[in-house]
Amino acid sequence: MAAGENMNILLSGEFDSFVQLIGALIIFAFVIGITYLTTRWMGGIQKGRNNNKNLNIIETIGVGNNKMISIVEAGTVYLVVSVGKDEVHLLAQLTREQLKDFSFDEHFDFAIFSAGAETSRHFAPIAASKGCVVIDNSSAFRMDDDVPLIVPEVNFNDVINHKNIIANPNCSTIQAVVALKPLDDKYKIKRIVYSTYQAVSGAGKLGLQDLENGRAKTYSPLLKFSHPIFDNCLPKIDVFLVNGYTKEEMKMINETRKILGHPYLPITSTCVRVPVSNCHGESINVEFEKNFEISDVITTLKTSPGILVLNDDKNDSYPINSIANGHDDVLVGRIRRDFSKPNSLNLWVVADNLRKGAASNAIQIVEKLLNMEETYEK
């Protein structure tokens, strides 16, 4: 066969692949478009809303061989869509209302709940009674004495006596205790002072919309916050309590005590919402019972699971949001002695609050439970 013929065949194959790809994209757009229009017709759309409020790709993962699975939010409907080289399949269409008391009659090994405390309080005990292990991301069971509050790098052994419900801690607490646990083991923590700088993603979609509206100077009514978050720092996360603290601040205090196993540990906390999209930063001042050397502290942190130390002052290397974003590690830096008080240390800790602060921590719990089961079976 002539070289020219080979080239023609090659070009023809590439053209066919290109056409197939365009066809798949058109089909995908058609499926999403029809669902979007149907959702608008069924649910109604408030005037003035942007399209991206009603159609949103929640998550996309690759599953090999040029295939992807996407979860698409279209109004109140969630679509699970498989996209291949030349094909698109609608795998499932779900709504929140589809969860019923009998939903767990069919056996499930695990269920990850992230639908708010009210939903968890109702459905988690039902699922647990059917033998399903629930990993709950809400605040519903965190301070329940019979429910372990788990960060796998810190206190996974606490799951041993679980009763099919395991609580996922608050996002800001998770990254703090990952950094503090190895230091507590070595020097014994005496007191903690938390100051947090928490991203708007922790307040959900409405909070992010407030931030975007502020950036765009649309002067839209506030959807989440009591004051504009753009160009502001708001020293209130969740509601104020009678003791003057916010609910978020008390979560950090109480959850840290439970996870570290120090029920009476002196802790104070100030939690601030800052105008960044994602990743929480925390300034942590910690006092120990024992003295320490900074070099030993750094070595201890570097050799502890789930921690990435960035502490090179000469090269301006320290934890920042853009490095933490999209990763599961807890970044620790600005490690220095507090000269105002004996045996005291300052840390700057940053983590992705949507990953390690929520989803990844829950997945890691499931993975460790599965590994534990495999070990027992052997």
What amino acid positions are annotated as catalytic residues?
171, 280
In the block, which residue shows the tokens 């309080």? 121
Phi and psi angles of residue 163, each rounded to the nearest 5 degrees, phi first: -115, 45
CA atoms within 13 A on the CB side of 364: 21
> What is the Cβ-side half-sphere exposure of residue 91, based on CA atoms within 13 angstroms?
11
The backbone region for 354, taken as left when phi is positive above 0, alpha when psi lies in -120 to 50, beta otherwise, is alpha
Give 144's contacts (C-beta < 8 A, 6+ positions apart): 167
HSE at residue 199, side-chain half, CA atoms within 13 A, is 24
Q: Is the dihedral of CA 219, 221, 227, 230 positive or negative?
A: negative
Between CA 344 and CA 292 the distance in angstroms is 9
What phi and psi, each to the nearest 5 degrees, are found at residue 142? -60, -40
d(CA 130, CA 108): 8
